[in-house]
Structure 1
Amino acid sequence: MAETMTVRVSRQTHRRLVDLASSRRETMDETVRRARRALRQGAMARGLAADLRPEEKDWLDAHPA
């Protein structure tokens, strides 16, 4: 197993993580890694769905000389 660290969370959050990991038949570490990845993917998706900035539109509409 990789080196570990302690992360402080509320008791309620800990219980929910334990329940989630158990229901998925995963370790707590696997569940937290999946949650982190899902958050990153969500942030990327929101960024991709956002309107383009003017300079991005200009760049995409540029035609080679």
Structure 2
Amino acid sequence: MGETTTIRISRDTHARVTRLAAQRHETIDQTVGKAIRALRQDAMARDLAAALTDEEAEWLDADAG
């Protein structure tokens, strides 16, 4: 692990992430990093699942040649 910093979280959240990291045999940093990645992936999935706008549909239907 490179440079570190401190973030303020509740004692309850700290206990939960510590317990989760231990169950996964990871460091807290690894667990938090994976949680952040999962949240980003979830946001991307929601964006991809959204209906296309008329402009997006028109662009996709455009002739490439």
Q: TM-score, normalised by structure 1?
A: 0.94
SS in 2 for 1:21: helix
Unaligned runs of 5+ in 2: none
Identical residues among aligned pairs (%): 58
Give, as a single letter, the amino acid of the residue that structure 2 aligns with 1:2. G
Moved over 3 A (4+): none
Count residues in correspondence: 65
Over the aligned positions, Cα root-mean-square deviation in angstroms equals 1.0
Structure 2 distance, partners of 1:60, 1:53, is 11
Q: Deviations over 1:27-58 (max 9, x none)?
A: 00000000000000000011100000111001
Unaligned runs of 5+ in 1: none
Cα distance 1:9–1:61, how it changes in 2: closer, same or farther (>3 A)? same
Q: TM-score, normalised by structure 2?
A: 0.94
